[in-house]
Amino acid sequence: MENLELESLTAEIANMRPVQDIGRVVGVGRGTLRVAGLSHAASLGDMVRIQHRQGIVTGGEVLQLEKDTATVLPDKSVEGVSLGDRVVLMGETCIA
């Protein structure tokens, strides 16, 4: 029993990321954002956290990847999002 718990903990630690990948908003479209700095680490469907300059935090999902940018669909309206706002890659959606 303890060995199973240790193996589970070891697997969870192996999947942890010691750093966070952070990108910046470089384009705001109708309902989507273009983000630079995440395309090297992101995968389709990954979740992100968008940090507006006003302190508002919104979630989002990676919809498209290109060489230098990722297209993100925010959970809420793009109203208030500015060029240069931080976007933190959260990774895959995990359902507990």
Q: How confident is the model at residue 17 (pLDDT cuts 50, 70, 90)?
A: low
Q: How far apart are CA 32 and CA 60, in angstroms?
A: 9
For residue 25, CA distances in Å to 1, 63, 74, 76 come to 47, 15, 12, 15
Examine the pLDDT at 1 and tell me if it is beyond 60. no
Question: How much is the pLDDT for 14?
Answer: 77
Q: For residue range 30-62, what is the model confidence (pLDDT) as tens digits?
A: 999 999 999 999 999 999 999 998 888 999 999
Report the CATH number at residue 64: 2.40.30.20
Specify if 52 maps to a domain: yes
For residue 91, the model assigns a pLDDT of 85
For the question of whether the overall pTM of this predicted structure is more than 0.85, the answer is no
The domain tally of the chain equals: 1
pLDDT band at 18 (very low <50, low <70, confident <90, very high): low
Determine the structural domain holding residue 86 and report its residue range: 20-91
- Is residue 36 domain-resident? yes
Give the whole-angstrom CA distance, residue 95 versus residue 51.
23
Query: Residue 72: what pLDDT?
Result: 98
Match 């919809």 to its residue by tokens.
Answer: 63
**Once rounded to an integer, what is the mean pLDDT over residues 5-10?**
81
Is residue 12 a part of any domain in this protein? Answer: no
Is 59 in contact with 74 (CB distance < 8 Å)?
A: yes
| Residue 2, pLDDT score | 62
Residues in the chain: 96
